[in-house]
Structure 1
C-alpha cells in the first residue's frame, strides 16, 4: 500500500484513529474551522523586517514575502487576511494570548518558541550574517573578529538577533536600537560598526543601502530555519498550512513571490 504523503491526510487519520477523549480534544482545538467560520485569517506580523514584512505607514499597508504568502493562505481558505501589528519583543505574548491565528514575517524556528507554540514546516533555511560598511568588510569575517571591545554591534530588541548577539558576544559593545527599519542607517552614519541579522535580510539591505556590504551571507555564522507560528495543539490547522506551503512551493508560487521581493 502506498504511504500517505499529505500531512493533511495524515492528521485526519490521526484524529479518526485516536481514542475518543483525544479526538474530542483535537476537534475542540480545530483552529481551521474557527477561521473559516470567522471569515478572516488574523496574522501577527512585525512590519519591520524586509523582505518578509514591512508596514508602509504612509499608505497604511503591509508588503513583503510573508505578506503575499499570508494572502495566498487566506485565499486558499476562502477568507480575508487581517494583519495584526506586533513587535519582536511582544510577538510570543501576543500570539499565545490569542490575538492572531498565525504569525508570519521572517520568524526563526527556535526551541524556546517551540515550547509554547507549533511551527509549520520550515519554508526557508537561513542563518545569521554580519553587515557592515563596505570598507570594514574584511575586519568582520568571524565572531572573533566582531567580539572586540572597540566594536559596536547594533541590534533590534526582543528577537533572535538580540539573543544571538548576547549569547555569542562578550567583549563587543552592544547597542540596542528600537527601529528595525532605520537601524541600518546607523551603521552608514558611523554610530555602529556592524549588525548581525538573517543572511537574506543582509543581502537585501546591501541593495537598499549603498555603502553597506553583507558579509559571507552564503556561509552564515549560525544555521537557522524560518517557519510560521501556529497555536499549540492546532493539529488540523498545522496540517493544512503545511500542505498549502508544500503546494505553493511545488507550483512555483513561493518562488515567484520570493523573487519579486528579493531579486
Structure 2
C-alpha cells in the first residue's frame, strides 16, 4: 500500500508540472499569444450565439498582444479545466475574471491585480432582503445553484453544507435558473452580480448584504517565465493607471 501511495503521489506531482511552457521569447518567435478564456463570465468574457467573444478582457487580450508585437489567439477553456489546460501548455495567459488563489499561484504566475472583488448573492428581487448572510443561505430549504470547477463552487462547498446545492453546467444560462424559480440564490463575484442585475432589471437583484462575504483579487494567470511576467506587469500597470481597463470594463458592462 505504501508503494502504491508513493506512486500516486509522484504521479500527482508530475501532473502539476507545466508541459514545456512557452517563454516570452518563444511567444514572440511564434508570433502568437494564446489567451485562455472561458467565455462565460460577463463582463470579462462572453461568447455570443454567433461564436464571437466580447468583454473587457477580450479587449485587453488584443491590447497586450499589440504591445508584445504578436497576434492574439483565444483558446477556449473552462473553470474546471483552467489549471489542467495551462499545465498542458494549451495557452500562455488566462484572462477573463481569474481569481488569485494559493493553488493557482503554486503552479504559475499571476500578474499584478486587475481589481479586488468578493462573493455576493444574486437573487430574485423579491428575495433581496431574505439572503443577506451565509447563515440565511445555509438552510435545507434554500436552493443554491453554482457553476462547476471554480471559486464559486469552492465557496459553496465550504459554506453551504446544509443548503440544497446544485451544480449547473452553463454559466451563461445559470442566472435564468434563479429568474425562473428553479433556484433561489447564487453566490458569485460582485462584478458578475452587478452585471446580471443590470441585464435582468426587476427580475434579478443583488441581495442587500452589508459587505461582500470575502475579498479576492482578479489577475491574469500565466506560465512561469520572468520575462513574460515582467512584460505583462509593465503593460498592465500602465493600462490600469491610464484608466483604459476601467473604461473597457464599463463599456463591457453596458
Task: State whether TM-score is above 0.5.
Answer: yes
When residues 112 and 188 of structure 1 are mapped into structure 2, their CA distance, relative to the original with a 3 A threshold, is: same
Pairwise CA distance, 1:77: 1.0
RMSD: 1.5
Q: Give me the whole-angstrom Cα distance separating, in 2, the residues matched to 1:57 and 1:92.
A: 26
CA separation of 1:216 and 1:120: change in aligned 2, threshold 3 A: farther
Match of 2:194 in 1: 203
CA drift of 1:151 comes to: 0.1
Map residues 167-246 of structure 1 onto 2, 5 A cutoff.
167-210=158-201, 211-216=203-208, 219-232=211-224, 234-246=225-237
Among residues 242, 247, 250, which one is paired with 1:256 in the alignment?
Answer: 247
1:96 corresponding residue in structure 2: 87
Counterpart residue number, 1:9: none
Cα shift at 1:72: 0.6
- Point out where structure 1 has 5 or more consecutive residues left out of the alignment: 1-27
Deviation, structure 1 residue 30: 7.0
Answering whether residue 41 of structure 2 is matched by residue 49 of structure 1, we say: yes
Q: For the structure 1 residues 216 and 223, does the alpha-carbon distance in structure 2 shift closer, same or farther, using more than 3 Å as the test?
A: farther
Q: With structure 2 as the length reference, what TM-score do the two structures score?
A: 0.89
Alignment partner, residue 109 of structure 2: 118
State the secondary structure of the residue aligned to 2:98: coil
- TM-score, normalising length: structure 1: 0.86
Matched, 1:35 2:5: no
Q: Which runs of 5+ in 2 are unaligned?
A: 1-19
- SS of corresponding position for 1:98: coil
Q: Which residue number corresponds to residue 61 of structure 2?
A: 70
